[in-house]
Structure 1
Amino acid sequence: MRASFRALLAALFSIGLLLTAGTGPAQADEVTPETAKPVRFISYNVCGAKCPLSFPQNATDAQKDSTRAAWVSGFVAEVDSWDSDLVMLQELCYGQWKLIRDALAPAQRAGTASYDTVWGAALSSASGCDQWDEDDQRFGLAIFSKGAGSVVPLTRSVTFLPEVQGLDTENRIVLCARTALDGRTARACTTHIDPHDATTALQVPKVAELVETGRQDGEPVVLAGDFNQVPEHQDMNPLYNHGTGSTGLFQEVDENDASQFVRNPDCSDTTTVRCRSGEDTATKTCSSRTPSNGKIDYLFLSYEWFKTVQGDALPCTQGSSLSDHHLLRGAAAWEK
């Protein structure tokens, strides 16, 4: 998570009031697992290294395993409750990924959807990842795709993002793969952008370029991640296809939430139905280490492939949540 956010930020609004896209004034709509559109997504910065697990004092190996299992069980419950088609994770320790992978594998999912997965390491070792696996402390990203064998073989790619010379920054990557998505094939990507101003401005355009040039025959794209920047900032112009200065190809799942339009002066018109805004995904409610509330986590969808996007950031309770970020979930219908 970034040390400081760089834009005007509004207070956290209640979860659940969302809008459907249209040509007239926006209409509020409550999004629940029962009412959401059929194609479902999750993006989640799980804080695998910096958020300590609550091991008992002088915990035995069995107690540690039980604590890890409880975290994984809570996360899997979120995946299942949303009936997610794609799940994109950031700040994930390798040992943590293995436990999630095994929990979502067909052998453990009798009568329930299983998931295929790809992993990408940004760091060979990260302080804090030993709480998940003392012998392998790799740190990175992962994609989970609903359905056994749903990741298209040999399509996984890991690309390291550019850095600003002279800045002491952490390696950042974009992880992509082609996956089955509700009966079609899509390019799925996830990333975690560096928080330094100069590096963010350098890395976001590169991600937009990599995601677009890597897709085949105009196939749909789902891009998720922690971008360490708020929606209205100019750094996000290469992703959005609307708003001042935008040059991108994407819509974002939570861009229709009128309760959040107040944070972006571009959206003051009462007829606005799409706005570069959205509910906060990093807040003091999740973690006392968070200096300011802000939306920095995203689910971007190809505008030409999806319609009626919906999204929300789930609530969390400081000290008892799965992460120091809010879990972002989104849904959409196919455009064609």
Structure 2
Amino acid sequence: MRAAVRTFLATLFSLGLILTPSPAQADLPDAENWPRPRFISYNVCGSAKHCPPIYQGSKTAWRDVVVRAMDNWSADLVMLQEVCYGQWTLLRDHLQSRTDKPRYDSVWAAALPSAPGCSDWGTDHRFGLVIFAKGEAGTINNGSRTVDALPEVGNVEDRKLLCARSTVTGRTVRACNTHIDPDPASAKVQVERVATLTRAFAAQGEPVVLGGDFNVLPTDATLDPLYNHTGGHGVFQEVDENDKEHFGNTCGQEQDRCRTGEATAEPVCSPGVGVPGKIDYIFLSYYWFTTVRGDAAACTPGVSDHHLLRGAAAWEH
């Protein structure tokens, strides 16, 4: 969690929530009744001075934590951010070859040619974004893969939007993954660009799933181009927008949707965060999906400074 975001969260917003570690579904007693398809977005904090070292000193232990979370949620589509190239290949090779559980196809994009700490994961030090889709090789159409550089204001880290067509529960969707810069000026123009690109996919009749670490809170006007309600003018709903336990003073209990949600950044995962806040999202194009559900999984200390975000929805059309 970058210092600017820690200060931002501590200054602006509190959801008042501290989570304790627990298995991926144990804290959701009704999880088996949640709809499908199911999604995950997770910033795995692969390389930065503020991120933990390799979990338990073992690459395999780290891999197994991520794979177990995918399997326990029976995720159909997974978007990971801050991933070293070696972390991707470790997951990819395991998930493509296993025979005891569902396999996953994947697509990768580098945001940076090299990042501190990625040398721990192999000789290729690239750092970026990954999308996994449940299914055999070819589940993701690599010919549809696009990687768009996002605009910047000032000298900030390069950011990208990775998208590709993928089969999800028998339907073709446009899956997208991004990591927005915490600098407010850059975040504004980057979200606008992401909204423009994904809106174009939706206008072509494609169901769109957009996951990522956006580094801003739900009520921030920066996200107006994405949300299709509560001041927004976009084409998306967000998986955790209907959890009234987290509406707080933002929306009344008589409302069905609110730009709020469970914290994905807080002191259990990242001691530098003074006040919890939601900065990770799974957006679904509103025309194609209904009955959205969302939940931040319990923190796994030593793996990441974010909570893994789980989402689910039913097909509307």
TM-score, normalising length: structure 2: 0.91
CA distance 1:31–1:332, change in 2 (3 Å) = farther
Deviation at 1:35, TM superposition (A): 1.6
Name the larger-Rg structure.
1
* Distance across 2 between alignment mates of 1:195 and 1:174: 15
Letter aligned with residue 113 of structure 1: P
Structure-1 residue corresponding to 2:59: 68
Deviation at 1:217, TM superposition (A): 3.1
Structure 2 unaligned regions, length at least 5: 21-27
Structure-2 residue corresponding to 1:60: none
Q: Which digits, 9 at most, give the CA deviation of each residue in 1:53-111, with x for residues without a partner?
A: 3578xxxxxxx6xx000110111000001110100000110000100101111x22x14
Percent identity between the two aligned chains: 52
* Distance across 2 between alignment mates of 1:34 and 1:221: 24
Structure-2 residue corresponding to 1:163: 152
Structure-2 residue corresponding to 1:44: 42
* Distance across 1 between alignment mates of 2:254 and 2:55: 51
Deviation at 1:130, TM superposition (A): 1.2
CA distance 1:91–1:234, change in 2 (3 Å) = same
Q: Does 1:183 align with 2:166?
A: no
Contact kept? 2:52, 2:304, Cα under 8 Å: no
TM-score, normalising length: structure 1: 0.86
Root mean square deviation, CA, Å = 1.8
Describe how 1:101-250 pairs up with structure 2 within 5 A.
101-105=92-96, 107-108=97-98, 110-133=99-122, 135-148=123-136, 149-164=138-153, 167-215=154-202, 217-244=204-231, 246-250=232-236
Paired residues in the alignment total 302
- Pick from 302, 305, 310 the counterpart of residue 324 of structure 1: 305
- Pick from 243, 258, 269 the counterpart of residue 286 of structure 1: 269
Contact kept? 1:306, 1:332, Cα under 8 Å: yes
Letter aligned with residue 144 of structure 1: F
CA distance 1:13–1:276, change in 2 (3 Å) = farther
Contact kept? 1:141, 1:190, Cα under 8 Å: yes
Contact kept? 1:250, 1:303, Cα under 8 Å: yes
Structure-2 residue corresponding to 1:22: none
Structure 1 unaligned regions, length at least 5: 16-29, 57-63
Letter aligned with residue 116 of structure 1: D
CA distance 1:251–1:151, change in 2 (3 Å) = same
CA distance 1:55–1:309, change in 2 (3 Å) = closer
* Distance across 2 between alignment mates of 1:313 and 1:55: 20
Contact kept? 2:107, 2:132, Cα under 8 Å: yes
Q: Which digits, 9 at most, give the CA deviation of each residue in 1:159-186, with x for residues without a partner?
A: 110011xx22000000000000111100
Contact kept? 1:52, 1:128, Cα under 8 Å: no
Q: Does 1:298 align with 2:281?
A: yes
Moved over 6 A (4+): none
CA distance 1:88–1:102, change in 2 (3 Å) = same
Contact kept? 1:10, 1:263, Cα under 8 Å: no
Q: Does 1:312 align with 2:279?
A: no
CA distance 1:218–1:11, change in 2 (3 Å) = same
Letter aligned with residue 112 of structure 2: L
Contact kept? 2:15, 2:262, Cα under 8 Å: no
* Distance across 2 between alignment mates of 1:54 and 1:181: 31
* Distance across 1 between alignment mates of 2:54 and 2:92: 22
Structure-2 residue corresponding to 1:23: none
Structure-2 residue corresponding to 1:27: none
* Distance across 2 between alignment mates of 1:303 and 1:324: 30
Deviates more, 1:303-312 or 1:207-216: 207-216
Deviation at 1:290, TM superposition (A): 2.5
Structure-2 residue corresponding to 1:261: 247
CA distance 1:234–1:88, change in 2 (3 Å) = same
